[in-house]
Amino acid sequence: MSRFEDIYGHAPEAEASAPGRVNLLGEHTDYNGGFVLPIAIAQQTRVAMRRNGQAQFSLHAAELGQSVRFTLAQPPAEHFASYVFGCLALAREHGAQIPPLDIHVASEVPIGVGLSSSAALEVSTLRCLRELLGLPLDDVLIAQLAQRAEIEYAGVRCGIMDQMASSLADTSRALLLDTRSLERRFVSLAPGSAVLVLDSGIARSLAASGYNQRRAECEQAAALLGVASLRDVAEVAQLGALPELLRRRARHVVTENARVLQAVDCTTAAAFGALMNASHASLRDDYEVSTAGLDTLVALLQAQPGVFGARLTGAGFGGACVALCEADALASVAQAVLAAYRLTGGAGRQLVPAEA
């Protein structure tokens, strides 16, 4: 993989990194003003920058082997560059004087499987700008600008969870986040437990369109209920007047928020795992963002004696599954489940912990 020096012939002036994340509970609740419980993963995206004294910015993405040149007057046509462009444009809007830069991006975060590779790119870009230019951006503001970059420049109407997790979370504790108030605190995993993430091998071909559709359905349900967002619905019984489809969508959000809050008080890994299992059933049946392959992989995980609970993670329609496991059983669980999954015709792989 290329380095900054390989592409530009000199060392960078500033470097920064940010992690991907996996969401343990609280799926599709963030854009409804609800509660989420992500944890950072070890894989990072790294950004390096240097003033280039030229008229244009130069961006190189090591994984893609692609370079792009642009100015801040016009967004680049290449989609991967839109995330970086958005961060630069919003930092300038926030008062930063940004000279043309050479920028190098290298990422270990798996792309397109629901581990927030885009948020890691946005947060690391803004962190690197902060380092290079001495910008007065705290970690929450970085997350907020990163979210705006994704919405306004990459065209994904995301909630704040991914960017807050990338900016604030760590790999040893989950981050309980109220996405409305941004109040947050860390929650330790049960002793002896650890997180396993497996890729289903199913491309998330409907993730963007399905995500935006689900968000619109939630907004429609909230409007019919006369509330600002589904966060304001406390009980499933309040959903009875909704049309059947919207009732199921809203029921997932209401029950998922409750599961996140219950998880904070769990004293055992088994209790936490039971909430993960219930979350998957809700995502499958009420929110309808699972697939047959995801359901198969989750069921195989749930059947393993070393697994406390498992569910799809991310937007759904493919991508990854997360499981809470006995820490000393991670390797054997992954091996057994992936072997069984291959017998069903699946082609999965281990994402977290990263394989050596």
Catalytic residues: 162
Pair 229, 32: CB distance under 8 Å: yes
Angle between helical axes of 207-225 and 244-264 (0-180°, round to 10): 100
If you count them, how many residues does the chain have?
Answer: 356
Separation of alpha carbons 253 and 156, rounded Å: 20
User: Can you name the residues that pair with 325 across neighbouring β-strands?
Assistant: 194, 307
Pair 213, 348: CB distance under 8 Å: no
Angle at 307 between CA 303 and CA 311, to 5 degrees: 80
Separation of alpha carbons 116 and 200, rounded Å: 16
